[in-house]
Amino acid sequence: MKKSSVLKQFKYLIPSSALVLAGMKKNYIANGHFPLMKVAIDFGNGVLKLEGDWQFMMAKNRHNEASWFSHHRKRVKIEAAIYPAMTLDLDDPESDGLVFPLEGKIEDGNHLGSCSGLLAVDNVRGNDGLTGNRWSFSLYLYDAAFDDFEIKFKLPLYQTLLNETDN
């Protein structure tokens, strides 16, 4: 009997890098002790946590506007509920193309507001059109305090790296 690849948690970290920071904004200095961004998704309990440097996150959004850089200062923390809370069976074809609504809060130390969005789970197709062991999580978050504003990231997951004891 084949064992299924169950995904309970996903963590992703982008460490601080002087080269990345230099390319973002002239004379911008971030605290080197913190990662540029870290994401923790607990599918089983339905919780998404994202923490990161605001300037980095805005610079990495392709369709950002100059005014978005000033919406928050320094680091932001986002905690959102994922609906429904459930573990994912990556061997089940029904897991491809899932979309989860998100509802939560965003804070930067000075400001606490609400946010909402979507988390999409997709099996990445190869050049031959077939699905494989690569998955991606697309994250779309909207701060309720600002119109026409989006935080967007696509994060990779390689199914071959899953370890049942760590997951």
Tens digit of pLDDT for each residue in 102-139? Answer: 999 988 777 788 999 999 999 887 666 556 678 899 99
The pTM assigned to this predicted structure is 0.78
Residue 72 domain-assigned? Answer: yes
Instruction: Output Rg (C-alpha) for the chain, integer angstroms.
Output: 17
Residue 137 domain-assigned? Answer: yes
More confident residue, 35 or 61: 35
For every residue of the chain, DSSP letters joined together read -PPP-EE-EEEEEE---HHHHHHHSTT----TTS-SEEEEEETTTTEEEEEEEHHHHHHT-TT--GGGGGSS-SEEEEEEEESS---EETTSGGGTTEEEEEEEEEE-SS-EEEEEEEEEEEEEE-TTS-EEEEEEEEEEEEETTSSS--EEEEEEEEGGG--TTT-
Residue 81 domain-assigned? Answer: yes
The gap from C-alpha 31 to its chain's centroid, in whole angstroms, comes to 21
Residue 56 domain-assigned? Answer: yes
Count of domains forming the chain: 1
Residue 70 domain-assigned? Answer: yes
Residue 166 domain-assigned? Answer: no
Q: Which two tokens stand for residue 51?
A: 């923490």
Residue 111 domain-assigned? Answer: yes
Tens digit of pLDDT for each residue in 54-91? Answer: 777 777 666 655 555 555 567 889 999 999 999 998 88
Q: Tell me the residue range of the domain where 19 lies.
A: 6-161
Question: What pLDDT score does 108 carry?
Answer: 77
Q: Which two tokens stand for residue 47?
A: 């919780």
The gap from C-alpha 128 to its chain's centroid, in whole angstroms, comes to 27
Residue 1 domain-assigned? Answer: no
Classify burial at 50, counting beta carbons within 10 Å of its beta carbon; exposed 0-12, middle 13-18, buried 19 or more.
buried
